Amino acid sequence: MSLEQSLAWRYAVKKFDHTKKISAEQLDTLLKTVKLAPSSYGLQPFEVLVVEDAAIREQLKEASYGQSQLTDASQVLVFAAETEINETYVKNYIDEAARVRQTDRENLAGFEQVILGAIGHLTEDQKTAWAHKQAYIALGVAISAASELHIDTCPMEGFNPGKFDEILGLKEKGLTASVIVTIGYRAEDDGYQHLAKVRKTDDDFFIHV
């Protein structure tokens, strides 16, 4: 199945089959694919929490206005933006880049200065907003990868980020919740799966310049 066909198959699941779980192998494949998502400068200014604990998910459900996907899905992925994007964060990234690419760190000094210059003029709020945007790119990769694996998803913004931060201890980790996606398998009686997709026409959607 092509990616186009996989995305046509997917929809935002409203009711998951709580008896079906994603295999460890499929979950590992999905997570490894998400880790390959592009981000500005490759900095990955976010982290992904894989939430399976039932008690925690009940709390997250309350913080998501009672939406059943939080407890019925196989797992909940929480994309959380870094809140401390500073010189130390960039230094650690350059250190790792030098190690992985097996090069002297000084060879990456120019690249390091470019990154520091780019983020140096941003306020803390602007840096966090930028990190949220990077997390959304990874969310898109997660949804696409899941659809190719025939894993169902429901991306969700309908939750209280402050409550999520509190429940998951994100503030202490230098993180704040950006967006979530529940993953698993659709229930047979979820009527939303039979609805035709509504999208703009090509003429209304694409602008060729």
Question: Please, is 117 exposed, middle or buried when counting C-beta atoms within 10 Å of its C-beta (0-12, 13-18, 19+)?
Answer: exposed
Do 180 and 71 form a contact (C-beta atoms < 8 A)?
no
Amino acid 192: pLDDT: 97
Residues in the chain: 209
Report the predicted TM-score, pTM, of the whole model to 2 decimal places: 0.97
Nearest CA-CA partner of 163 in 53, 78, 45: 78
**Domains contained in the chain, CATH given:** 3-205 (3.40.109.10)
Beta strand 75-82 with 175-184 is antiparallel
Do 54 and 71 form a contact (C-beta atoms < 8 A)?
yes
Give the C-alpha separation, 103 to 65, whole Å: 50
Q: What is the pLDDT along the chain (209 residues), one digit of tens a residue?
A: 899 999 999 999 999 999 999 999 999 999 999 999 999 999 999 999 999 999 999 999 999 999 999 999 999 999 999 999 999 999 999 999 999 999 999 999 999 999 999 999 999 999 999 999 999 999 999 999 999 999 999 999 999 999 999 999 999 999 999 999 999 999 999 999 999 999 999 999 999 99
Amino acid 174: pLDDT: 97
Amino acid 1: pLDDT: 84
Can you point out the beta strands (E) in the chain? 46-51, 75-82, 152-156, 175-184
Give the C-alpha separation, 154 to 181, whole Å: 5
Give residues with Cβ within 8 angstroms of 112, minimum separation 6.
Answer: 90, 91, 94
